[in-house]
Amino acid sequence: MRRLMAHRLFWPVAMLAVLLLINLIAFPGFFSVQIRDGHLFGSLIDILRNGSPTLMIAIGMTLVIATRGIDLSVGAICAISGAVACSIILGSSDPGNPGTVAVAVIAAIAISLVLGVWNGFLVSVLGIQPIIATLILMTAGRGVAMLITEGQILTVNSPPFKVLGSGFFAGLPVSVLIAAALFLFAVVLTRRTALGLMIEAVGINPEASRLAGVRSRGLLISVYVFTAFCAAIAGLVLTSNQTAADANNTGLFIELDAILAVVIGGTSLAGGRYSLFGTLIGALVIQTLVTTVYTVGIPPIATMVFKAAVVTAVCLLQSPRTTELIDSWHRRAQLRRTLEASA
């Protein structure tokens, strides 16, 4: 039991289980998944679907945080990506044409990659602190999105585009499949190559890594580019789901949820070792939390407070001091038992 508790994913998984249990008690049909029109339906599926944009961004954020960085601009990149895609679709003569949508998606991703290069350039070449470097795009990015949409909310009516956010494939929501693909891609990319090792090395000690021959500059840029890529995809999914690009609100505060997901998943903001699986759990915890608010009937105005309370609890449980306390408590209990046995 102690070894289980010492595992870095113990508390996040426990938290997820508790949240799901609360939902089950409040709403006995919570776990039921039905098939309607060949699609899977149910609360669990909703959690997966609604949580997928946060998860997508949290995947990139995990790698950025592992390098001792942070990317606050992901929400703004979501908005820009959505704005670019929608303005291209709206500007074309045939919004329903899959070719048009493909062009729009590729353009949105391409522009986001450029923004990722910008972030990476500021951080690794100019040496600006990541929180400041990405704050620039966080604030400026929504302005850029506003310029692209010309201050309007761009509503698109394009069936192929709508598939990204609300479509189904093989019974599962397309957005969930995209998030899953992105997750697998990141796992394979960093754990099946030596990229993960390099990222962790740079995050733990940049100078020692440099002396060992790690090319940290290129590595940092790539990580920010990858995160921008994740944000671009999330932006497309969000926009598609709302069938509208809203420069002010698409992906608003999503960076904070993503950072939370990473932290809940056990990756330290101080950089170094990271766990993509932990981040997956973290993203699910956050989304389940939101759902719980509705099922348990907490007034929506208290949602933020409730969320904060749960997050605080997880962080406290994971803190080194708590671990120490639990350890010493165990040791004392053991000592007492030994003493009693010998007496």
Partner 1 sequence: MTEPQPAVSMEDITITFPGVKALDAVSFRMFPGEVHSLMGENGAGKSTLIKALTGVYRIDSGVITLGGEQVSFSGTADAQEAGISTVYQEVNLLTNLTVAENIMLGREPRRFGAIDWRATRKRAVELLERLHLDIDPNSRLGSHSLAVQQLIAIARATDFNARVLILDEPTSSLDADEVQELFRIIRELKADGVAILFVSHFLDQVYEISDRLTVLRNGALVGEYLTDEILRIELVQKMIGKELTVLDALERKTKAQTVDEDELVPYIRALGLSRKGSIEPIDLEVYEGEVVGLAGLLGSGRTELARILSGVDRADAGTLTVAGSSARFRTPRQAIHERVVYSSENRRSEGILDELTVRDNIALALQADRGWFRPIPKKRQNELAESYIQALNIRPANPDALLKHLSGGNQQKVLLARWLAIAPRLLILDEPTRGIDVGAKAEIQKLVSNLAENGMSVVYISAELEEVLRLSHRIAVMRDRRMVADIDNDDLITDDLLAIIADGAETEVVA
Question: Which residues of the shown chain bind partner 1 in the complex (CB under 8 A)?
Answer: 192-195, 197-198, 200-201, 204-205, 207-215, 219, 272-273
Nearest distance from C-beta of residue 260 to partner 1, angstroms: 22
The distance of closest approach from Cβ of residue 54 to partner 1 in the complex, given in angstroms and rounded to an integer, is: 27
Given the complex with partner 1, which of 197 and 316 has the nearer CB atom?
197
- Minimum CB distance to partner 1 smaller for 62 or for 87: 62
Taking alpha carbons only, the member of 255, 63, 82, 276 closest to residue 179 is 276
- State how far the Cα of 273 lies from the Cα of 279, in Å rounded to an integer: 12
The smaller minimum CB distance to partner 1, of residues 158 and 216, is found at: 216
User: Cβ 333 to partner 1, closest distance in Å?
Assistant: 25
Q: How far is the CB of 269 from partner 1 (least distance, A)?
A: 14
First and final C-alpha spacing in the chain: 27
Task: Indicate the helix (H) or strand (E) that contains 154.
Answer: strand 154-155
Burial class (CB in 10 A: 0-12, 13-18, 19+), 153: middle
**Judged by CB, which is closer to partner 1: 85, or 201?**
201
DSSP string, 269-297: TT-S---HHHHHHHHHHHHHHHHHHHHHT
Minimum Å gap between C-beta 277 and partner 1 is 18
Q: Which of 273, 307 has the CB closer to partner 1?
A: 273
Nearest CB to partner 1, comparing residues 42 and 206: 206
> With 0-12 CB in 10 A as exposed, 13-18 as middle and 19+ as buried, what is 312?
exposed
Q: Which residue has the tokens 């609604």?
A: 50
Cα distances from 56 to residues 33, 62, 66, 342, in angstroms, run 24, 10, 16, 56
Stretch (H or E) spanning 35: strand 34-36
Quote the least distance from Cβ 221 to partner 1, whole Å: 14
Whichever of 148 and 214 has its CB closer to partner 1, that residue is 214
Q: Phi first, then psi: what are they for 245, rounded to 5°?
A: -100, 120
Min CB(217)–partner 1 separation in Å: 10
**What does DSSP assign to residue 302?**
G
Q: Residue type at 218?
A: G
- What does the angle CA 211 – CA 226 – CA 152 come to, to the nearest 5 degrees? 140
Query: In this complex, which beta carbon is closest to partner 1, that of residue 119 or of residue 190?
Result: 190
Q: How far is the CB of 68 from partner 1 (least distance, A)?
A: 12
